[in-house]
Every structure is written in structure tokens, then in C-alpha cells.
Structure 1
Amino acid sequence: MEKTKIQWTEATWNPWHGCKKVSPGCKFCYMYRDKDRYGQDPTMILKSKTMFGQPLKWKDPQLIFTCSWSDWFIEEADAWRNEAWEIIRKTPQHTYQILTKRPERIKDNLPDFFNELNNVWIGVSVESQEQVNRIAYLNDLDCITFASFEPLIGEINWDENMNKLDWSIIGGESGNDIGKFRYRPMELEWAEKLINASVKNNVKCFVKQLGTYQANILKLKDRHGGNIDEWEQKFQIRQFPDKKLGTINTTKGQLTLF
């Protein structure tokens, strides 16, 4: 299994890797950073030779962030996606979290059997007010839907489409003080505003991290502000969607999803 330190999931699965930047949130992409470290071209979208069928080997239920090094709905993966959907259908014990910046491609690239699946969550990245329109593409999907407000690089106003979400993830940007892959500020007021709106509108909320900017200001031990024990209590909220999906025992503790 591909273990991960991402707080809102347990494992990652990358049937393909590589991506192309489409919005401001992509500026300091961690995949670009890591590919740069390995001397690889991050814009080359390639089918994985070793990881494509990995979930078939994982017998115990896992919460899986899907395509963490790409985008499930990226056009260059059209030839492989149906095969990947089949893997999801054959592994109902797992829960797949699919996060995209290409929501306009979602409904045209769902399998015919999508409504039979009970193990897929679909979300969109919304880093500032400019990307809020992505959320409307989740309307009427027969699955858990969510928005990842990370990296949160601008204040966001809650709207009626957000009321239809099952889950919101909030996080400041990670990065370095020098070099090509830095970080932008997330103001605590922006995060608090989204937390309060989520709670008010019965949308489960998960604060992932405060980000490197706030970690520096607050002199936190975790350099990216990901240790919940270091935060003010009003930010200490890590909920999961409560639709009936059972319980997943993970290395990060028991995630009760109903």
C-alpha cells in the first residue's frame, strides 16, 4: 500500500501520474516539486507500470486518495480511465476519494455503472473565490461530494451550492522559504469563516493544516502547521461524511463514516 501523511485519507493510488497546471492553486504543486527532485517531466502523463492494479491486492478496507499525483479526469488519461473504473467496481471494500480541478469533465467520464457504486466520493479543489463555480458541477451526483479548500489562497464566500456538499477540507499551503516551490499566505480568518459556514450548514468539516505561512507566524513545531494539538480549539475540527459507509480502521485511528 502507498502510505501517506495526508491527514484526511489513509492511502494513495496513482494509476497514472503527471499533470498540467490549470489554475492558481497549481503554482507550487507538490507533484511538480517531487518530479523535479527526481529529474522527471511533471507534464508527461503516464500510465503506471507498477501501481495501476494495486487496490486489487489490498484486502483490508482502505480510504484511498485517488490520483494524488495527477487528475482522475485529465484528458490524457481517457484511454485508461474505464479500466481504472473497473478496478473500483471490483474492490467495494475500499472507499475512493477522487479530487479534481477539471469538474467540467466529470459527468461525461463516469461509467455506466456509476450509480451502482457505493464507494466513490468526488470532490473539487477550490482555492479562492475564483474557483467557486467548480462546486456546481457536483450537483446531482449520486455519491458523497466534497470541496477541498486547499491551498486556501483567498477569502471565499459560502453559497447555496456549498450547502449541497457532504464534506469540506480546509488547509493552508505547504512550501519552502526559498527555491522554486514556496507558499502563499492563508489568513486564519479565511479558514474560520469556512469552518463556521460548514458547521452552520451541516457540512462535515476537516481542517487539514494551517500551512507554512501560519506555522512560521505562530512558531509551530510542525513546519506546515499540520499538528492539530498546536492549534486554537476553534480550528480543531476533523469530521468525516456521515452517510452510511461503515467504519474503516486505519493507521491514523478509526474513521467512523456513518
Structure 2
Amino acid sequence: MKKSKIQWTKSTWNPWHGCKKVSPGCKYCYMYRDKERYGQSPTTVLRSKSMFYAPLKLKKGELIFTCSWSDWFIDEADVWREEAWDIIRQTPQHTYQILTKRPERIKEQLPKYFDSLNNVWLGVSIESEEQMGRLEHLKDLPCITFASFEPLIGPINWDTRMDGLKWCIIGGESGNDTGKYQYRKMELDWALHLVDGAKSSGVPCFVKQLGTYQYKQLNLKDRHGGNLEEFPEGFQVRDFPAVYYDKHMAMA
């Protein structure tokens, strides 16, 4: 387990690491960048030798972004997932945020006891209109469902396809001006449309960062555009689903 700098979580847990790119949002993946920095292959999916059982060691409940360096539903992890689900079952004090770009695999990879769990949030990454079909795979799931519009690289219409969502995250892409790991722009009106849509639909919304493009456009201090105090009016929104406050704030 590692304490996380990602604003919408508290810790990360990677029972396996390594992934394969499946959509435009993966282009400048930070996991690829860091794996290459360590001289490792980012496309080789490996079970963690030291972190697999980490949640079992924590008695106090944590909000945990699960598989931040992979995808919970990647097929290479099929041999380990059943045991990882059992770790989640044994640790009801934690809340696991599972975000995937492979939602077509969700329902076939849920354990038989999934309906009895109350500590899993399942979400999909949507970087542009092209990926909106991923929301269909969240329908009828007996858990908190959410969408992460990050990196937001194109306008997205907020409409009835979002019905049923319990949370959304919005963020611009961060990266470098040159080299292998750059960034794409996020226009403020793209993000504001989603913020307004979430508010009007009663969906809790969390604006994570404005990204490197807006960092330059707005002359911000934080190069990721992640300092809430620097956000323009209308973007200073960082809400969680009500169950988060009910459970984790009570433990604080």
C-alpha cells in the first residue's frame, strides 16, 4: 500500500502491475513513463511480490485506488483476480475504487458473492465521446458506479447515458512539451459542461486537475493544474459520493 498524491483517493494498491494500451487516453500513460524510467517493461503484467496482501495488514479503513499501475480486468490477471477479490471481501473496512478501460469484462469477472460486498466502487475511463459506450457496462451493477473523464481530450455531452452514475471525476492531461510523454489540451468549456451536467443531475463531481495545457494558458503555479485554490470560478468542486462521508469520515 502506498499513500497517494492523487487527489480523489488516499492510497493505491497494485496486486499486479503492467498493462497494454487500449484507447487514446492511454497514449501518454504515466505507468509506461515510470516503468521505463526504472528499466522495466510496461507491457509485462506481473503479480506483485510485496503488495498483493497489503490491504489485509491495515485495520483502519482506507479509500484505495486499485490497480493504478494496471487494469483490474486485464486478461493476464485472470489467474490472480479470484484471490484478490477475496482480499476485498476480507477487508470491509476499506473502500476499493476500481477504474477500468475494459468494462466489457466486468460482469463476467465478478465473484459470485459480489452483491454482498458494500466496499467496491466500479468506474470506467472516458476521455472523449468515442468512449461513451463504456457506460453501458455499468448498468445494473449493485455498487457505486462512476466515470473518470480524464484525460479529457475532447468535448463530451452530458445526457441520459450518464443516468445511474453515482460519481464523476474530471481532469486534464499533464505532461511535457517535448519528448515521449507529452500532453493534449483540455478546453475549460469541455470540463465546465461536465461539471454543470453533474450538478444538474445530482451526481457528485470531483475536479482533479486542469492539466498542463491550462497550467500554461492560465499561468498557474502547479504544472499539473491540480491546486484547487487556483481553479477558476465554477471549477472548485471536489465532492465524493455520500457513502464515502458516511463511512470514512466517521472513521476519522
TM-score for the superposition, normalised by structure 2: 0.97
1:177 Cα deviation after fit: 1.4
Asked whether the equivalents of residues 122 and 145 of structure 1 are also in contact (C-alpha less than 8 Å), the reply is yes
Distance in 1 separating the partners of 2:124 and 2:15: 19
Trace 1:69-148 onto structure 2 (pairs within 5 A). Answer: 69-148=69-148
- Structure 1 equivalent of residue 16 of structure 2: 16
The letter of the residue matching 1:66 is T
The letter of the residue matching 2:117 is L
Distance in 1 separating the partners of 2:59 and 2:71: 25
SS of the residue 2:51 aligns to: coil
SS of the residue 1:234 aligns to: coil
Range that drifts further, 235-244 or 103-112: 235-244
Q: Which runs of 4+ in 1 moved over 6 A?
A: none
Distance in 1 separating the partners of 2:192 and 2:150: 14
Asked whether the equivalents of residues 127 and 149 of structure 1 are also in contact (C-alpha less than 8 Å), the reply is yes
1:163 Cα deviation after fit: 2.1
Trace 1:189-200 onto structure 2 (pairs within 5 A). Answer: 189-200=189-200
The letter of the residue matching 2:230 is E
1:233 Cα deviation after fit: 2.2
- Structure 2 equivalent of residue 46 of structure 1: 46
1:195/1:244 CA distance change after superposition, 3 Å: closer
Asked whether the equivalents of residues 63 and 97 of structure 1 are also in contact (C-alpha less than 8 Å), the reply is yes
Asked whether the equivalents of residues 13 and 65 of structure 2 are also in contact (C-alpha less than 8 Å), the reply is yes
Distance in 2 separating the partners of 1:42 and 1:119: 29
1:141/1:26 CA distance change after superposition, 3 Å: same
TM-score for the superposition, normalised by structure 1: 0.95
Count of residue pairs brought into register by the alignment: 252
1:148/1:244 CA distance change after superposition, 3 Å: closer
The letter of the residue matching 1:167 is W
SS of the residue 2:99 aligns to: strand
1:245 Cα deviation after fit: 6.7
Structure 1 unaligned blocks of 5 or more: none
1:243 Cα deviation after fit: 3.5
Structure 2 unaligned blocks of 5 or more: none
Trace 1:207-246 onto structure 2 (pairs within 5 A). Answer: 207-243=207-243, 246=246
RMSD: 1.4
The letter of the residue matching 1:100 is T
